[in-house]
Amino acid sequence: MKERRREQRLPWVSMDARVKVRKGLIGSTWVDVEVVDYNRLGIGVVASDEILKPDSRVQVSLRLNTEVGDITVDQVAASVRHAQTDENGYFFGLEFDKEPSQSTNESLERIEGILNRHQGLAEKMQ
């Protein structure tokens, strides 16, 4: 079948992220955040509230949604390295633990690879 699109479609990619934040002395809850940037070493996220403090430790859950399936990282420990107010809310720079489990590290690297290929394709199309 002949391609009828005026421009090639880019593969659809979307990343969902949540961070586990403390509530009170013993409780915690998962909060959805917006991903701003990502590499296998860390992630930049924006939240509507000031949910994290610099130098605190958090758990992060990631899911990269693509046309061909999802890649998930159920939980990876991270440190809050940067926090500032942003025009979209509060920006947090999170650094993943230096030695996650092998399966977690493989998933983080796969996500980075897919995002790099997607970005390269998007740049070629412009």
Confidence of residue 13 (pLDDT cuts 50, 70, 90): low
CATH no. of 13-125: 2.40.10.220
What is the average pLDDT across 12-20?
A: 86
Q: What is the DSSP string of 13-76?
A: EEEEEEEEEEETTTEEEEEEEEEEEEETTEEEEEESS----TT-EEEEEEEEEETTEEEEEEEE
Contact 17, 62 (CB under 8 A): yes
What is the average pLDDT across 42-49?
A: 93
Whether pTM exceeds 0.75: yes
Q: Where are the domains of the chain?
A: 13-125
